A and B are shown apart, each in its own frame.
Chain A
């Protein structure tokens, strides 16, 4: 039984007063594709930066492939392929030189041209990276991450800058690598980018893991939920609390004169509408729809999406 590809215990990082990562316990099993989700600023990149020793934790431990992330840096980075977020390229060096550099450092016998072909950059192999678009740069970074047939791929926001076609190709490569036995740890702030490929996802918000489940498990959780959208006349800010007290209400968010209420199966639309009217508001219009995974994601990370004056925190 191989050790977990990634394991953190009580992993914590404080920047001044800000707890960027708060006592995180994370386990990525060997062989799986793990989607690491959360809005920007949730602590995903800080976590990954600690796994890569770019940042040292203020508390807790992290292991990668069973090795200590602080002391076995060289061996970890030899066996892991990394696509860090926000990483610069060498403007004056060609795509091929970049890949050759990674091959030299890892002392592997990869064929640079073959790797560039895999990521769709074969035609640009001899062009300098300084002229690359964001998407081309991201493809090049992926090619470098694939050098040495790594046991674990750590991809931090790999789809940023990729067009939908590029993102699909990336997911194909992730799947192919996984079929060859590579564990993939894949962060994104967009659920849609990972749900098609991930075995499991963890959602972070404000430095903490708020939910960890398989995609199927998450679907089961949303499957029964109904999203009720109500247009009201009047100021709805005060009503959130009384709605949240209702039986079977899973989430409430308010945006202008629109109230969105998540209802579980046994919830009653009528009860919600009467509560709104009891608060002295008029119901101008309402609609219901089945909640999607995106709504679920948004509800777990509502601080990032809610713009109401009164922060409408969610009790799921």
Chain B
């Protein structure tokens, strides 16, 4: 049966379409400028910085930036084609709806990954020029982490796009996702603690469930899981989620890998099922 790899065709076409739009070039310029400046910034701020300082400097803003870019890149991916009616053309060919979702995730991930790689490439050159050493271990650890965060949020964005029937709803859900994970999430464990104890002053050590919730966001669970393989040795907050060996199972680093996986599988399943059931007209 031919057409078995239709999702690859969808991904390729999607990426080609984006490459012809300004999106890919604007994102590339943004990432190059951002990583380039962040690579140089510690030097400009004085002292005797090194590559670790540069990575440390860029890690927090990068983790804010990538999810937002993923949402911008992905939220219209499917609902936009429903708006213009081109989804009817896709589905008139031997492409089933699941392949549209999968192809869109890959295509949009490419649209985010290529600028990220370009940015890190330019960053590496800047780092070599400024600090006189070639970026090695930590640099690649941070790059891999950044790409995986991009993947998690691209999956979220495309799943949102598959689930809804209007641009407005997609935009609202995409913005809501960012606000939830980047701004509101930290208030959830504190709120529960307040309800249980009538105070926000944590005494006698942080409860296990509190730790669990705090590190359950897509980025944090991924980061905690990656600590099994990476040391994120450039300092900053990325290396701080190592679980103690006596911690309960759900606080172990490997368990965070399952949570990260759920952040991929659950949105994708919801998006797929809703898209599968919807009427295309």
What are 19 sample pairs from A and B whose C-beta atoms fall under 8 A apart?
A: A45-B281, A49-B280, A52-B91, A54-B88, A54-B280, A74-B94, A74-B95, A74-B96, A75-B1, A75-B94, A78-B3, A78-B94, A88-B89, A89-B89, A90-B13, A97-B13, A101-B9, A105-B9, A144-B89
By the criterion CB–CB under 8 Å, are B2 and A106 in contact? yes
A-B contact number at CB 8 A: 92
**B203 in the interface (beta carbon within 8 A):** no
Chain B: CB-nearest residue to A52: B92
Most A CB within 10 A of own CB, among B20, B94, B279, B280:
B94
Chain B: CB-nearest residue to A80: B92
Chain B: CB-nearest residue to A102: B93
0/1 string, A79-102, CB within 8 A of B gives 1: 000111011111011000100011
Q: Which residues of B contact A56 (CB under 8 A)?
A: 279
By the criterion CB–CB under 8 Å, are A97 and B86 in contact? no
- Which residues in window 4-51 of B have CB below 8 A to A? 6, 9, 12-13, 16-17, 20-21
Interface residues of A (CB under 8 A from B): 45, 49, 52-56, 73-75, 77-78, 82-84, 86-90, 92-93, 97, 101-102, 104-108, 141, 144-145
A54 to B96, CA, bound (A): 11
Nearest 5 Cβ contacts at the A-B interface = A88-B85, A88-B84, A88-B86, A107-B2, A82-B92
Chain B interface extent, by class: 20 to 34
B86's contact among A87, A106, A145, by CB below 8 Å, is which? A87
**B81 in the interface (beta carbon within 8 A):** yes
A89 to B13, CA, bound (A): 12
Q: Which residues of A contact B12 (CB under 8 A)?
A: 104
Q: Which residues of B contact A92 (CB under 8 A)?
A: 17, 20-21
By the criterion CB–CB under 8 Å, are B94 and A77 in contact? yes
A94 to B144, CA, bound (A): 35
Q: Which residues of B contact A77 (CB under 8 A)?
A: 3, 91-95
Q: Which residues of B contact A52 (CB under 8 A)?
A: 91-92
Q: Which residues of A contact B281 (CB under 8 A)?
A: 45, 49, 54-55
Given A54-B91, A93-B16, A93-B17, A106:B3 Cβ within 8 A: yes
Prevailing SS type, chain B contact patch: helix
A87's contact among B17, B92, B279, by CB below 8 Å, is which? B92
A109 to B73, CA, bound (A): 33
A105 to B100, CA, bound (A): 12
Chain A: CB-nearest residue to B12: A104
Q: Which residues of B contact A101 (CB under 8 A)?
A: 9, 13, 93
Q: Which residues of B contact A89 (CB under 8 A)?
A: 86, 89
Closest approach, in angstroms, between the C-beta of A54 and any C-beta of chain B?
Answer: 4
By the criterion CB–CB under 8 Å, are B95 and A105 in contact? yes
Chain B: CB-nearest residue to A100: B13
Closest approach, in angstroms, between the C-beta of B89 and any C-beta of chain A?
Answer: 5
Q: Which residues of A contact B280 (CB under 8 A)?
A: 49, 54-55
By the criterion CB–CB under 8 Å, are B93 and A105 in contact? yes
Q: Which residues of A contact B86 (CB under 8 A)?
A: 87-90
By the criterion CB–CB under 8 Å, are B95 and A97 in contact? no
Chain B: CB-nearest residue to A49: B281
By the criterion CB–CB under 8 Å, are A87 and B85 in contact? yes
Q: Which residues of B contact A145 (CB under 8 A)?
A: 92
By the criterion CB–CB under 8 Å, are B88 and A86 in contact? yes
Given A54-B280, A74-B3, A105-B6, A88:B88 Cβ within 8 A: yes
Q: Which residues of B contact A105 (CB under 8 A)?
A: 3, 6, 9, 93-95
Q: Which residues of B contact A49 (CB under 8 A)?
A: 279-281
A92 to B20, CA, bound (A): 6
By the criterion CB–CB under 8 Å, are B92 and A55 in contact? no
0/1 string, B76-113, CB within 8 A of A gives 1: 00000100111111011111100000000000000000
Closest approach, in angstroms, between the C-beta of A7 and any C-beta of chain B?
Answer: 20
A54 to B13, CA, bound (A): 21
A97 to B19, CA, bound (A): 13
Closest approach, in angstroms, between the C-beta of B180 and any C-beta of chain A?
Answer: 32
Closest approach, in angstroms, between the C-beta of A254 and any C-beta of chain B?
Answer: 35
A105 to B94, CA, bound (A): 7
Most A CB within 10 A of own CB, among B9, B81, B88, B92:
B92
A45 to B281, CA, bound (A): 9
A105 to B7, CA, bound (A): 9
Q: Which residues of A contact B95 (CB under 8 A)?
A: 74, 77, 105
By the criterion CB–CB under 8 Å, are A55 and B85 in contact? no
Q: Which residues of A contact B87 (CB under 8 A)?
A: 88
Given A73-B96, A105-B9, A141:B89 Cβ within 8 A: yes
A39 to B45, CA, bound (A): 73
